[in-house]
């Protein structure tokens, strides 16, 4: 690791702090969770903001805190209702962990959010960044909140060439930030880093001329902004292929099945999914193309020779209804949607039942299922 800006002395660091805090107080984003220093609201916002854009989170934050205004309300929440409020934000383990942590607070801390950094960190789903953000913003503790924004700003400021994708590099940024955080305003400093990293010191084409830290910044002074931060590329998500089956009965209801209690999209509801090989997926994609048959949604073919893995006790339409794609952090789903009508001897799968379209809003759907329902609706028009 090379730290090229070690020449900043105490006076320069103090000047940097003053300039940065003044910039933040003048330019801070007006966000709902910044209207209060209640650790509960700061905690909810920070968990929501993981892997999610600020403009997306705002409406979710309002809805979530209206339904669960206190730690106690969250601790006592029904999980399916909780996931429904969270629906669309993705990474649903975040919502489940919020409830578990709220229950921890009720049982281990008498319902009061802990103030000690180690106790905050002990809560389910709270890592070093979130613990630092809560401790600094809610409790004025000089704790760093180290995320991608903070590491990008600091790597450019100091010319740090440690790979920010490696967990071991966090210690380097922790040491630097502990020198920089002003004891008098640690929360403002951390939030200033968040705002600077998201709006000015961006990954590509940073707006250095408007940056309050340009006079202190090694990368700006040497014209090496694009060199920092150093980051190895993440592994490409693995491709996974599915046939989704929109199966209806004579009442026009659709079969929904609940996913297992653990794992990806745990306990959420989807059309039944059948994992297939890439070759089988491409066969279905090509030979049952929705453009190749003059059939509307409810014109079902009797003899269609569809791929063998589709259930035999369903009469399938002679074309698929289209394809959706969805990227998780480590997986890329490719899903081909088929439509069929169940026969009298249809065997209902476990944790499954038929549901009218008008009642879909009562079920927790992951994003891929929402896309499949949209695809189904388009074919009905």
> How far is residue 63's CA from residue 51's CA, in Å, rounded to a whole number?
19
Q: How far apart are CA 283 and CA 288, in angstroms?
A: 8
Determine the Cα–Cα distance for residues 368 and 163; give it in Å rounded to an integer.
33
Q: Environment class of residue 223 by beta-carbon count within 10 Å: exposed (0-12), middle (13-18) or buried (19+)? A: exposed
Look up residue 113 and give its two tokens.
């959010």
**Active-site annotation, residues:** 46
Burial class (CB in 10 A: 0-12, 13-18, 19+), 122: middle
CA distance to 235, 247, 255, 281, 312, per residue, from 346 (Å): 42, 10, 11, 24, 9
DSSP state of 37: -
Which residues lie below 8 Å from residue 100, measured CB to CB, with a gap of 6+?
Answer: 124, 125
């Amino acid at each position: 690791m090379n730290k090229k800006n070690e020449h900043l002395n105490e006076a320069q660091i103090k000047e940097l702090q003053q300039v940065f805090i003044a910039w933040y107080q003048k330019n801070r984003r007006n966000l709902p969770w910044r209207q209060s220093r209640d650790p509960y609201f700061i905690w909810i916002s920070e968990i929501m903001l993981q892997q999610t854009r600020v403009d997306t989170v705002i409406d979710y934050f309002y809805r979530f805190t209206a339904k669960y205004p206190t730690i106690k309300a969250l601790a006592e929440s029904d999980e399916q209702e909780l996931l429904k409020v969270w629906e669309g934000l993705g990474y649903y383990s975040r919502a489940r962990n919020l409830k578990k942590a709220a229950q921890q607070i009720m049982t281990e801390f008498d319902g009061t959010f802990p103030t000690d950094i180690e106790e905050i960190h002990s809560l389910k789903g709270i890592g070093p960044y979130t613990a630092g953000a809560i401790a600094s913003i809610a409790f004025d503790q000089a704790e760093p909140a180290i995320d991608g924004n903070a590491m990008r700003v600091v790597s450019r400021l100091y010319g740090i060439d440690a790979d920010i994708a490696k967990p071991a590099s966090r210690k380097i940024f922790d040491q630097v930030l502990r020198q920089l955080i002003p004891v008098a305003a640690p929360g403002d400093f951390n939030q200033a880093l968040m705002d600077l990293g998201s709006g000015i010191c961006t990954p590509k084409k940073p707006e250095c001329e408007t940056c309050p830290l340009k006079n202190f910044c090694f990368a700006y002074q040497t014209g090496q902004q694009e060199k920092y931060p150093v980051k190895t590329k993440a592994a490409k998500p693995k491709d996974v292929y599915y046939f989704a089956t929109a199966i209806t009965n004579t009442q026009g209801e659709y079969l929904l099945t609940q996913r297992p209690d653990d794992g990806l999209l745990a306990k959420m509801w989807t059309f039944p999914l059948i994992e297939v090989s890439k070759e089988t997926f491409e066969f279905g994609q090509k030979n049952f193309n929705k453009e190749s048959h003059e059939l509307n949604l409810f014109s079902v073919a009797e003899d269609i020779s569809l791929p063998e893995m589709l259930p035999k006790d369903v009469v399938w339409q002679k074309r698929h209804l289209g394809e959706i794609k969805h990227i998780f952090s480590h997986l890329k789903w490719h899903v081909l949607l088929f439509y069929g009508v169940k026969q009298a001897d249809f065997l209902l799968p476990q944790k499954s039942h038929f549901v009218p379209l008008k009642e879909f809003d009562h079920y927790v759907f992951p994003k891929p299922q929402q896309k499949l329902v949209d695809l189904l609706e388009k074919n009905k028009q």
